[in-house]
Amino acid sequence: PHAGSVESKNEAAMSELVPEPRQKPVVPMKPVGINTSLLGYIGIDTIIEQMRKKTMKTGFDFNIMVVGQSGLGKSTLVNTLFKSQVSRKSSGWNREEKIPKTVEIKAIGHVIEEGGVKMKLTVIDTPGFGDQINNENCWEPIEKYINEQYEKFLKEEVNIARKKRIPDTRVHCCLYFISPTGHSLRPLDLEFMKHLSKVVNIIPVIAKADTMTLEEKTEFKQRVRKELEVNGIEFYPQKEFDEDLEDKTENDKIRQESMPFAVVGSDKEYQVNGKRVLGRKTPWGIIEVENLNHCEFALLRDFVIRTHLQDLKEVTHNIHYETYRAKRLNDNGGLPPMTVETEENHESNL
């Protein structure tokens, strides 16, 4: 009997050690599928119209940056994209202007209106990029500028009395101009894209594509894609941000076929078969900028403005800005960064 009681004690001790089976969390009942055919008109379909009216009142912000060596037609291409004189070249820039000693950042703002839609467009130019003998770290001022815009937005966001609508100066899109050498990317191109692809949406474009034959163009595009892949450079649209299968299919097509867009820009009009077209005149004919048989400019415009403009803004806000914000708050011990005013108040109290 004594041995039996020891065993029962052990069993009791064992049963204490065995964890009780956890109760499953209560799963809310799924709503029973009711016949959803409406008995009359409610008006849910007006929600889109309400949103449209609201956004039309406030307008849209879009900030586009152009980076590349002088003479690749950056200003002309941006003017062609928006069919208006929006780059620095048209705002009092003269050809006698010397090449800047270092990379400068010039931002020019415009309000463009089309069909009742207002867009506050800012074109950020980077004169002096890649024009020096020693181009070491010449992307640093550009990276600094992009981060400064994130910082400005963050400071506004963490203010106690913050604005209802924070002015958005963040760079939504960076068009990187590749020289049409037909060979391979220069170390400068790779270094720039490697450093900045993590902080901004980069769209690579091959400038002045009319200087290459069709075979050279196809070969060069394939080579550029291969080099970017080998160097682990992610350009926009990034694979990991495809939200669904439809996006993935559409973006894969762009990544594998169109990128980098081989483009030609022009703000001059010519008469072709009784039509006014934007183009470049050569001794053997006119290169029509918006003709897909001549160049991929129309594809680039459709991509940047007609299909992906909103997505460019969302990726900037939800991915690049969030990454910056998390890092900034983390470095600050989880506290919001002190605004300039609070710093000044702090100094005056001392």
Q: What is the 3-state secondary structure (H, E, C) of 102-159?
A: CCCCEEEEEEEEECCEEEEEEEEECCCCCCCCCCCCCCHHHHHHHHHHHHHHHHHHHC
Dist. CA 179–CA 72, nearest whole Å: 7
The length of the chain, given as a count of residues = 350
Alpha helices by DSSP H, 172-244: 187-196, 214-230
* Residues 6+ positions from 209 with CB-CB distance below 8 Å: 180, 217, 262, 263, 264, 295, 296
Asked if residues 154 and 337 have their Cβ atoms less than 8 Å apart, the reply is yes
Per-residue pLDDT tens listing for the chain (350 residues)? 555 555 555 555 555 555 556 565 666 666 565 556 777 888 888 999 898 888 888 888 899 999 988 888 888 888 888 877 777 654 444 555 666 767 788 888 888 888 888 888 899 988 888 888 888 888 889 999 999 999 999 998 888 888 888 888 999 999 999 988 878 888 888 988 998 988 999 999 998 888 888 888 889 899 999 999 999 888 888 888 777 788 888 888 888 888 888 888 887 788 888 888 888 888 888 887 777 788 888 888 888 888 889 989 999 999 999 999 999 988 876 555 555 554 444 444 44
Domain layout of the chain by residue ranges: 50-332
Does the domain formed by 50-332 have CATH 3.40.50.300?
yes
Question: What pLDDT sits at residue 74?
Answer: 84
Question: What pLDDT sits at residue 320?
Answer: 93
Question: What pLDDT sits at residue 337?
Answer: 53
Dist. CA 196–CA 202, nearest whole Å: 8
* Residues 6+ positions from 121 with CB-CB distance below 8 Å: 62, 63, 64, 82, 86, 109, 110, 111, 112
* Residues 6+ positions from 26 with CB-CB distance below 8 Å: none
Question: What pLDDT sits at residue 200?
Answer: 93
Asked if residues 277 and 290 have their Cβ atoms less than 8 Å apart, the reply is yes
**From residue 99, how far is each of 19, 43, 71, 341 by CA, in Å?**
75, 60, 11, 38
Tokens representing 125 are 């130019």
**Is the bond leading into 100 cis (omega within 30 degrees of zero)?**
no
